[in-house]
Structure 1
Amino acid sequence: MNSQLLDVRYRILTVLSAGEVAQTYLVEDTSLDDSLFILKQLRPASNNPQALKIVRRLFASEAITLEKIGQEHDQIQKLVAYFEENEEFYLVQEFIPGNSLVEEILSGTPLTEEEVIILLTEILEILAFVHSHKVIHQDIKPANIIRRKLDQKLVLIDFGTVREIVTTIVGNLEYIPVEQLHGNSQYNSDIYALGIVGIAALMGLTANEIAILPSQKNLVTGEIVWRHRNAPINKQLAKIIDKMVRFDYRKRYQSATEVLHDLQQLNNPENEKQNLVEKKLKLMVTGIAGCIAVSVAWWLFWASKPVGNAQELYQQGVEKYQRGNYQGAVGDLTEVITISPQNALAYNRRGDAFYRLGNYEKARADASRAIRLNPQDGNAYYDRAFALYGLEKYPEAIADYTKAIKLNSQSAYAYYGRGMARAQIRDYQGSAADFSTAIALQPSYAAAYVQRGIIHRRLRQKQAAIEDFDTVIDLNPNDAQAYYQRGLTQFSNQQKYIAINDFTKAINLNPKYIEAYLARGNVHSELANKLEATADYNQVVRLNPKLSTAYLRRGIHRFSFGDYRGALQDYAQAIKLNPQDAAAYNHRGEAYLQRGNQKAANQDYSQAIKVNPQYALAYYNRGLILAKQGNKQAAIKDFQQAAKLFQKKGNEDGYQDVQLQIRLLQS
């Protein structure tokens, strides 16, 4: 075994750990002198060629990201190399002399509060950097935190992201929150794991004791009970750790910087000053001098109180936002801003709440205020861009997304947002490029694949669109939207039966997927599948009786097999629900014409033109009626307008047909 060379250079010296799908070795690089490295061998969970193709791509992408962040931060284990041999994947990592935190905190002896705060702070600072690069560690535990012998700094090692991509095996369950077990890892999943580490350090738990800690829960709240046997500790520190390990990730701290802020408040001189004032109050003597002193002391106490109130209100506001109580969050955060007008973070959060409430103008105003307070806050530009997008100010949104990208070039979400805005102004090439960059930064970004697929379809790059939707389905076979979008692409490619199959899969995954029923009904209608199309349109009406499009499409379908009376009823309902639907007026005009009511048909075509003066087909249809009535000049005028609009839209068949009608009238 020791004589074997991997990647033609790495010789195994020692087996550090061995499992069924993952092994870790100490190796030397035979091309260098005195160079030791950690080599991790990963066996994929499946040898299916298609699965391996996806794993290979994701493995390389994640490895590139880890390589980059290791180079940029001194307290992250460096990734030296990565390669594949015989359908097995290998990571070569920096060897860091030192001891893991297992020796420090799982020995059965508690650390002091000060030691725990220092430990948590140092790791949180590393995590803040990691998360800013859109990476989740996914395996925070004492064994993966090394006290480096060289300088006694803590170093984060062995990211779980790459391992899980290849092996699908998660880390130690006692450190893993429920959303990560369900494949929905969040940035604060790492905060949960670190909170468990903090509990172990404060309580002096052994490895066996920490293994059963997650099962010790309050029967009512479901939260971990961990303070019952410990000596009294700082209530604020306990409150911070409680929030780090909340069961529901939406109620946890949302970022490492928020935890750091609260930990820093524990040693805030303002807090110490307040505690001192409270102690003095207890020692005050009675009498005039005592009364004066008490008055002064109370004034000092209340003068310092808003700082604490602001922080508490901010946390309340954040918690309300996370629970979906956006109006309540706005109220709390407004009070924070009243107390602390320079609090950029409060403006950021309130802007997010306004956005959720659909008040994009106020969301933009708050983001603008946050930017003025901190012009280097990329997140504030990102937030304002979202608000501008909601206000349909797409060029301004693009400018803000661009600024956010300049401040944080690794933000896949900013590229995605800019891609969405560019699509709105029909800059499809730029939009596709942004979605591609978002995917390069985050290879499992399903939404970016979906949107890029839609853009490819608009650019008539149908095979590229199908490949994007295929990738989404490979990433998540239960993604109904991907099947729906692939179905639309197949339909536009005249693959109607394949499209029906995709729409059916989308409906099976989401039985209330209105758009999929509507699209499948349209395909059935084109294939003259009368009963199937009717059933789909009826289901749409049942799911949403106020959707005007459902009545319009069902009316068109009824018209196609001669049910003009039923079609008229559907068109009338569509118009009632949406009086600005020009197509409904035009189609109702056609139905009236089939029943011999030229007057009603002419009125509907005129109304369609009034609603949409660019509606070529309505001019054409009205021209036909005018011609039948012998009004040649008015008919020619309508035909000429129709010809102009058909030509403008590139409808050559429509243009030639209108020209024929004009020649017939003129002759």
Structure 2
Amino acid sequence: MDGQILDTRYQILKVLSVEEVVQTYLAEDSNLPDQQFVVKQLHLAKNHPQDLTILRRLFTDEATAIAKLGKEHDQIQKLVAYFEENEEFYLVQEFIFGNPLTEEVLLGTPLEEDQVINLLSEVLEILLFVHNSGVIHLDIKPANIIRRESDNKLVLVDFGAVQEIVTTIVGNLEYIPVEQLHGNPQYNSDIYALGIVAIAALIGLPANEISRLQSQKNVLTGEIVWRNHSTKINKNLAKIIDKMVRFDYRKRYQSVTEVLHDLQQLTNHEYEVKKYNPKKLWLVTAGIASCITFSLATWFFQSPKFVDNTQQLFQEGVNKYNQGNYKEAVDDLTQVIKLEPQNSLAYNRRGDAFYRLGDYQKSQTDSSQAITLNPQDANAYYDRGFSSYELGKYKEAIADYTQAIKLNSQNAYAYYGRGLANAQLQEHKKAIEDFSKAIAFQPKYTDAYLQRGILRRRLKLKQAAIKDFNAIIEINPNDAKAYFQRGLTQSLNQQKAAALNDYTNAINLNPKYIEAYLNRGDIYSELGNQVEATIDYNTVLQINPKLTTAYIRRGTHLLSFGDYRGAIKDYTQAIKLEPNNAAAYNNRGNAYLDMGNKKAANQDYTKAIAIDSNYGLAYYNRGITRAKLRNKQGAIADFQQAIKLFRKSGERNSLQDAQRELNLLQNR
């Protein structure tokens, strides 16, 4: 099957899995060669009850609905295309870089309660959008929930509805409720399946024992008996999960909103219980007793309406957030908070919306309030850590990531965030340890490899850095950033041919990779390949005609080949785009000097120094020019200042050059 072309454009790269009626492939689109997709081939079931014409319509209707979901929600796998060939049906889906939830919940080790609550809450919020769109997933299981590598969010994949239409095969029986088996799926069938996932996570069932749950039912009621596995599980959480997996769907939670509300009430209640000192509880009791009558009356007349309004507003806010309408989401969630000031989940989601809007201060404030309401919420610390990081408060970010790690010691993403903050504080050893820890928990965490590799290169650990970039490429051969960073490292090792190859790979994967073109152009220029270098710089300027750096780099290239006028033209354009660019003035001064225009060169060096008084190279160049203009004292002063700045910055070669020029001048 490898190499086969489907629908005249999707080329099969390799087979991912083969089942009785479904085969899954990794493929690329010949029109978009830098992207990979997952292609599912659905074999028509024998004795299919529908004729082909009806089947095509049902397949198209269901696929269209699911494709719409992926376009409107960031945490739903995108259905890129669907088609039929030779009476077999195909789905082309977005390839999600990340790990399925099977690597978190089916390992034989119980998860902490707060981890399960966070998992449930995030998946339920996605299902809220799915159900509100009139769709039932029908195949909720750990393998169909991917933790996306780029942002640690959960993504829902592989909707069962399309597959069932063609194959008539129902999903994994371990997660399927009885009404779905009987061909009568309900919205809360998805809630049941998610409840099974939660049970498996709480009691630490390995994958090969998940089927035991279906055999451990009460003979009379049909309810799953699971609590005897662990006596430490919070009773209120257990009640919520019991209601999620009730045998009779009419006795189960009827909507995702109800489950989310009860989970929120649970986290708020747990915090309130911990907050009060038992020794002072009797002081509170009298006050409670005196308010009972008023509270009951208020609840009777206002509570149902209050809860309905809150749930509806929260749901609308989440929907708007998922659709990218962050400002409107903030408005709705603000109303929720006014109605229910103890709703930590609302603060959490509003903080996320503020973060998306770039208002990191408000995002940080909301995360802080969520933490106040629920100090055991690891995700709130994690969110606040990222807001603090964006605000440049790296020590505060580190404190929050550390607390998130205390609450969830296996959170690879918290280690990664702390590593980024430590790197900003020049705590290189700690940063590398954090990135290494993240990789230990998530062996395919390419961002952690990337940052560790970059840091190792800065510390001159070039071979170790290359190993990190190699690891990324092995995990994902289409990661352009990994090729680019490895190219930079190869260049530092003077392995120019290897660097050229890496930059070319990066460009092939990302034809608009500006940094790769610039660096490849620089190497071509150093190797004397004038035409190839010029083409690369020109390509960059076609992509971005206002990129100052590109004009400066092309100008330097032209200068090295003696095209002084071309270089001056490029440096002048860079100055027009960025009037305070000291490098552009300094480099134009070099071009003027090479042309013999010492006066113009002197003026440009002086301008560069006026912009950046610590520009050692500009002092050195002006010293050379002043010496040529017979301004001996001015030249001596410039060389002395250049020596001072080079010594401070540790530029040894430049320091030696400046010292030599000064000695020659003073001995004349």
TM, length-normalised to structure 2: 0.62
1:379 partner letter: N
Cα separation, partners in 2 of 1:564 and 1:65, compared to 1, 3 Å:
farther
Residue pair 2:589, 2:602 contacting (<8 A) in 1 also: yes
The counterpart of 1:123, out of the listed 181, 187, 196, is 196
Between the aligned partners of 2:565 and 2:359, the Cα distance in structure 1 is 44
Cα separation, partners in 2 of 1:543 and 1:121, compared to 1, 3 Å:
closer
State the Cα distance separating 1:148 from its structure 2 match: 3.9
What do the CA deviations read for 1:284-321 (whole angstroms, capped 9, x no partner)? xxxxxxxxxxxx99996556423222222212222222
Between the aligned partners of 1:417 and 1:301, the Cα distance in structure 2 is 47
State the Cα distance separating 1:262 from its structure 2 match: 4.5
Between the aligned partners of 1:515 and 1:355, the Cα distance in structure 2 is 28
Residue pair 2:180, 2:189 contacting (<8 A) in 1 also: no
What do the CA deviations read for 1:343-399 (whole angstroms, capped 9, x no partner)? 221111111111111111221221222222222322222111111211122222222
What do the CA deviations read for 1:609-660 (whole angstroms, capped 9, x no partner)? 2222221101101111222222222222211111111122222211111111
Alignment of 1:337-486 (within 5 A): 337-486=337-486
* Alignment match, 1:561: 561
Between the aligned partners of 1:69 and 1:480, the Cα distance in structure 2 is 36
For structure 1, the residue ranges without an aligned partner over 5 or more in a row are 1-18, 23-57, 77-99, 158-193, 204-232, 241-257, 268-295
Between the aligned partners of 1:520 and 1:445, the Cα distance in structure 2 is 28
1:69 partner letter: T
What do the CA deviations read for 1:453-482 (whole angstroms, capped 9, x no partner)? 111111111111111111111111111111
Cα separation, partners in 2 of 1:72 and 1:633, compared to 1, 3 Å:
same
* Alignment match, 1:498: 498
Residue pair 1:117, 1:263 contacting (<8 A) in 2 also: no
Task: Please tell me whether residue 105 in structure 1 is matched to residue 178 in structure 2.
Answer: yes
State the Cα distance separating 1:597 from its structure 2 match: 2.5
* Alignment match, 2:329: 329
Residue pair 2:355, 2:363 contacting (<8 A) in 1 also: yes
Cα separation, partners in 2 of 1:102 and 1:394, compared to 1, 3 Å:
closer
* Alignment match, 1:592: 592
**3-state SS in 2 of match to 1:261:** helix
My pick for the range that moved more, 574-583 or 541-550, is: 574-583
Alignment of 1:641-656 (within 5 A): 641-656=641-656
1:442 partner letter: Q
Residue pair 2:188, 2:255 contacting (<8 A) in 1 also: no
What do the CA deviations read for 1:69-90 (whole angstroms, capped 9, x no partner)? 24979xx9xxxxxxxxxxxxxx
What do the CA deviations read for 1:143-182 (whole angstroms, capped 9, x no partner)? 474444799534999xxxxxxxxxxxxxxxxxxxxxxxxx
* Alignment match, 1:153: 225
Task: Please tell me whether residue 69 in structure 1 is matched to residue 100 in structure 2.
Answer: no
Between the aligned partners of 1:304 and 1:389, the Cα distance in structure 2 is 41
Cα separation, partners in 2 of 1:530 and 1:107, compared to 1, 3 Å:
closer
What do the CA deviations read for 1:186-242 (whole angstroms, capped 9, x no partner)? xxxxxxxx9xx989x778xxxxxxxxxxxxxxxxxxxxxxxxxxxxx69x95553xx
* Alignment match, 2:522: 522
Instruction: Say what the alpha-carbon RMSD is for the aligned residues.
Output: 4.3
1:417 partner letter: G
Cα separation, partners in 2 of 1:71 and 1:391, compared to 1, 3 Å:
closer
Between the aligned partners of 2:176 and 2:362, the Cα distance in structure 1 is 52
1:428 partner letter: H
Sequence identity, in percent?
A: 53
* Alignment match, 1:627: 627
Between the aligned partners of 1:334 and 1:510, the Cα distance in structure 2 is 41
Cα separation, partners in 2 of 1:343 and 1:607, compared to 1, 3 Å:
farther
1:488 partner letter: L
Residue pair 2:623, 2:635 contacting (<8 A) in 1 also: yes
1:631 partner letter: N
State the Cα distance separating 1:124 from its structure 2 match: 5.3
State the Cα distance separating 1:535 from its structure 2 match: 0.6
Between the aligned partners of 1:69 and 1:613, the Cα distance in structure 2 is 60
**3-state SS in 2 of match to 1:478:** coil
Residue pair 1:619, 1:639 contacting (<8 A) in 2 also: yes
1:342 partner letter: Q
What do the CA deviations read for 1:18-72 (whole angstroms, capped 9, x no partner)? x9999xxxxxxxxxxxxxxxxxxxxxxxxxxxxxxxxxxx99xx98996572497
Between the aligned partners of 2:569 and 2:363, the Cα distance in structure 1 is 43
* Alignment match, 2:151: none
State the Cα distance separating 1:542 from its structure 2 match: 0.8
For structure 2, the residue ranges without an aligned partner over 5 or more in a row are 1-16, 21-97, 117-172, 230-240, 267-295
Between the aligned partners of 1:141 and 1:106, the Cα distance in structure 2 is 23
Residue pair 1:111, 1:202 contacting (<8 A) in 2 also: no
Task: Please tell me whether residue 531 in structure 1 is matched to residue 531 in structure 2.
Answer: yes
Residue pair 2:175, 2:196 contacting (<8 A) in 1 also: no
* Alignment match, 2:603: 603
TM, length-normalised to structure 1: 0.62
State the Cα distance separating 1:129 from its structure 2 match: 5.3
My pick for the range that moved more, 612-621 or 396-405, is: 396-405
Residue pair 1:643, 1:658 contacting (<8 A) in 2 also: yes
* Alignment match, 1:162: none
Between the aligned partners of 1:354 and 1:71, the Cα distance in structure 2 is 30
State the Cα distance separating 1:550 from its structure 2 match: 1.0
1:367 partner letter: S
Cα separation, partners in 2 of 1:335 and 1:63, compared to 1, 3 Å:
closer
* Alignment match, 1:613: 613
State the Cα distance separating 1:117 from its structure 2 match: 10
My pick for the range that moved more, 139-148 or 303-312, is: 139-148
What do the CA deviations read for 1:117-150 (whole angstroms, capped 9, x no partner)? 99567535436759xx9x9x9x899847444479
**3-state SS in 2 of match to 1:69:** coil
Residue pair 2:384, 2:397 contacting (<8 A) in 1 also: yes
* Alignment match, 1:171: none
2:353 partner letter: A
1:585 partner letter: Y
Between the aligned partners of 1:546 and 1:117, the Cα distance in structure 2 is 51
Between the aligned partners of 2:345 and 2:568, the Cα distance in structure 1 is 56
Alignment of 1:298-337 (within 5 A): 304-337=304-337
**3-state SS in 1 of match to 2:406:** helix
Residue pair 1:347, 1:367 contacting (<8 A) in 2 also: yes
1:517 partner letter: Y
1:126 partner letter: I
* Alignment match, 1:276: none
State the Cα distance separating 1:607 from its structure 2 match: 2.2
1:410 partner letter: Q
2:519 partner letter: A
Between the aligned partners of 1:656 and 1:622, the Cα distance in structure 2 is 17
* Alignment match, 1:261: 260
Cα separation, partners in 2 of 1:68 and 1:621, compared to 1, 3 Å:
farther
Between the aligned partners of 1:299 and 1:63, the Cα distance in structure 2 is 44
State the Cα distance separating 1:411 from its structure 2 match: 0.9
How many pairs align? 469
State the Cα distance separating 1:500 from its structure 2 match: 1.0
Cα separation, partners in 2 of 1:645 and 1:264, compared to 1, 3 Å:
closer
State the Cα distance separating 1:443 from its structure 2 match: 0.7
Cα separation, partners in 2 of 1:155 and 1:466, compared to 1, 3 Å:
farther
**3-state SS in 2 of match to 1:627:** helix
